[in-house]
Amino acid sequence: MNPGPRSARLSPIWYPMQSMDARYTSQINEGVEPAAPGEFPPVSIGPLRLDIPVVLAPMAGITNYPFRTVCRQFGAGLYVSEMITARALVEKNPKTVKLSEFSPQETPRSLQLYGVDPEYVGKAVESLVAEDRVDHIDLNFGCPVRKVTRKGGGAAIPVKPLLLANIVRAAVRSAGTVPVTIKFRMGIDDNILTYSDAGRVGQDEGCAAVALHARTAAELYSGEAHWEAIADLKQQVKHIPVFGNGDIWEGWDALRMMRQTGCDGVVVGRGCLGRPWLFRDLADVFKGRQPENPPQFGFIREIMLEHARLLAEWFGERMGLLSFRKHATWYTKGFPGSAQWRQSLIQVETLDDLAVALDQLASDLEFPPESMRVKRGKKSRRQRVALPDGYLDDRFDQTPPDPAAETEDSGG
C-alpha cells in the first residue's frame, strides 16, 4: 500500500518514504541485493500473470476477504482464500459458503479447496466455475492435523500417488480454463518423503503450478524450512512453475529463497500476520528497490482499525471483533508495554472499545525490529504423524479416505 493520496481508505496518516535502515535488516539478510533488472521475470499461473512472484499463503481462519483486502492494499500478487472443504461446499453448508466469499473488488479471486474424494472435489470445482466465483483454485495436500491424517486425509494423501492423481484430475477437468495448483509438504516425516511424487502428479495431471511448504507433517511449523527440498523439486518439475514456501519473514528472504532454489515464486504465510506491509517490502525488493522502514505505531493503529472494521462488516461486530483478537496480538507484538495492555485489547467487543484500547500507545513508537522474525500463528513443536492402520502397506491403493478426513481443521 502507498498510504499517500492513492490509498482510498488507509490514508489518514501520511507515511513518509524512507529507505530501510539497518535495524530492519536481520543479520541473515545483510548484504542481500535487491533484484537486478530482469532477474525475476513475471510468473504465470495459467492465464494469470504475476508481475511480482508472490502469493499470500492460504491460512485457515485468517485469509478471509477482510485480511486479503488489507494485504492487497500493500502490493501486487495473488491472495489465496482460507481453506474451503469440498464436501461442505457441495452440500451448501452456509458457513462454508460464507467463508468462500470474495469482495466485488477482489481480482483475481483465488480459492483454496480441500477434499479427499475425487467426486466431491470435481463437483465443488464445477460449481465454483459454473457460477463464475473464482479465477484460480488451489488444492491443499499439506494438512498435518492429527485427526485429518489419522483418517488418511491432508498430508497423508500424497503417500498414495494414484489417489492424489485422481483428485487432481477431477479438479483440473472440472476447472476448464481456470488454473488449478496444488500445495503440499515434503512428506510425512524424514522417512516418508512425498514431494517428488506430488510434484510429478501435479505436472502430469495438468496443474498450472505447484507449491512446496518445505517441512514434513512431523515438523508442523517448527525449525527452519528446508529450502533445499524446494531446489530439488525445481530440478524435477520442469514444465510448470514451482513456488517455494516456508520462512519468508522479510522481503529479502524471498530473494534469497529464489536465488538459492531457482524456484519461480514464493508463498508467504506467517510473516505477514500483523505485518501486511511485508507485501510492500516484497514488491520493493523484487522491483530492485530498498524497502521502506516499517510503519510507526500510529499507522499500524489505522491498519488495525481498518482490518477490524472490515471483519465487523463481514462477520457482524461481535464475531468480527472476536476473530480480530489474534490479529491484535500479532500487530502489537514487541511494542513496549504491549504485554500489559494486550489484556484490554483481547477483551474488546466493539470497534469503539478497540479504538479506545489502541489510544493507549503513542503514535510515534517505532516498530520493534526483533518482532520481525518472531514465529506466530502456530506453536513450534514436532509431532508423530498419525496414519490409518496399515496405511503404508499399499501405496497404490486409490480408495478415497473416510469422509471424516475432510474437516475444517487445517494447516498445510
Ligand X SMILES: Cc1cc2nc3c(=O)[nH]c(=O)nc-3n(C[C@H](O)[C@H](O)[C@H](O)COP(=O)(O)O)c2cc1C
Selected from 10, 43, 59, 99, the binder of ligand X by CB under 6 A is 59
CA distance readout (Å), 78 to 54, 241, 254, 379, 393: 7, 14, 15, 26, 39
Single-letter amino acid, residue 138: D
Asked whether position 293 contacts ligand X by CB under 6 A, the answer is: no
Whether residue 358 contacts residue 324, with contact meaning beta carbons closer than 8 Å, is answered with no
Whether residue 42 contacts residue 14, with contact meaning beta carbons closer than 8 Å, is answered with no
Asked whether position 304 contacts ligand X by CB under 6 A, the answer is: no
Selected from 75, 199, 295, 411, the binder of ligand X by CB under 6 A is 411
Whether residue 391 contacts residue 152, with contact meaning beta carbons closer than 8 Å, is answered with yes
Neighbours of 380 (CB within 10 A): 10
Of 145, 232, 155, nearest in space to 187 by CA: 155
Rounded Cα distance between 281 and 276, Å, is: 9
- The full 3-state SS of 58-123, as one line of letters, equals CCCCCCCHHHHHHHHCCCCCEEEEEEEEHHHHHCCCHHHHHHCCCCCCCCCCEEEEECCCHHHHHH
Spatial neighbors of 279 by CB under 8 A, at least 6 apart, are: 54, 56, 71, 72, 74, 75, 76, 77, 268, 272
Selected from 64, 245, 293, 371, the binder of ligand X by CB under 6 A is 245
Selected from 73, 96, 140, 196, the binder of ligand X by CB under 6 A is 140
- Nearer to ligand X (CB atom), residue 40 or residue 114: 114
Query: In sequence order, what are the beta bridge partners of 212?
Result: 184, 244
In angstroms, what is the minimal distance from the CB of 183 to ligand X? 5
In angstroms, what is the minimal distance from the CB of 412 to ligand X? 2
Question: Going residue by residue from 103 to 132, which x/- string records binding to ligand X, judged by CB under 6 A?
Answer: ---------x--------------------
Q: Which residue is nearest to ligand X (CB)?
A: 412
Q: Decide: helix, strand or coil at residue 286.
A: helix
Question: Going residue by residue from 212 to 241, which x/- string records binding to ligand X, judged by CB under 6 A?
Answer: -x-----------x----------------
Selected from 10, 35, 57, 76, the binder of ligand X by CB under 6 A is 57
Selected from 68, 87, 270, 327, the binder of ligand X by CB under 6 A is 270
- Nearer to ligand X (CB atom), residue 269 or residue 274: 269
DSSP 240: S
Selected from 145, 248, 348, 361, the binder of ligand X by CB under 6 A is 248
Q: Among 95-103, 192-200, 266-274, 358-366, which window interacts with ligand X (CB under 6 A)? A: 266-274
Q: Which of 143, 207, 263, 272 is catalytic?
A: 143
Asked whether position 83 contacts ligand X by CB under 6 A, the answer is: yes
Tell me which H or E stretch contains 215. Answer: strand 209-216
In angstroms, what is the minimal distance from the CB of 248 to ligand X? 5
In angstroms, what is the minimal distance from the CB of 323 to ligand X? 12
Rounded Cα distance between 197 and 222, Å, is: 24
Q: Decide: helix, strand or coil at residue 19.
A: strand
Asked whether position 58 contacts ligand X by CB under 6 A, the answer is: yes
- Nearer to ligand X (CB atom), residue 3 or residue 320: 320
Q: Please list every residue from 157 through 216 that binds ligand X, using CB under 6 A.
A: 183, 213
- Nearer to ligand X (CB atom), residue 114 or residue 299: 114
Q: Please list every residue from 307 through 366 that binds ligand X, using CB under 6 A.
A: none
- Nearer to ligand X (CB atom), residue 163 or residue 282: 282
Selected from 199, 265, 274, 412, the binder of ligand X by CB under 6 A is 412
For residue 143, indicate whether it is catalytic. Answer: yes
DSSP string, 128-187: HHHTT--SEEEEEE----HHHHTTT-GGGGGGSHHHHHHHHHHHHHHHTTS-EEEEEEEE
Active site residues: 143
Task: Summarize as ranges the residues that interact with ligand X (CB under 6 A).
Answer: 57-60, 62, 82-83, 112, 140, 142, 183, 213, 225, 245-248, 268-271, 377-378, 410-412
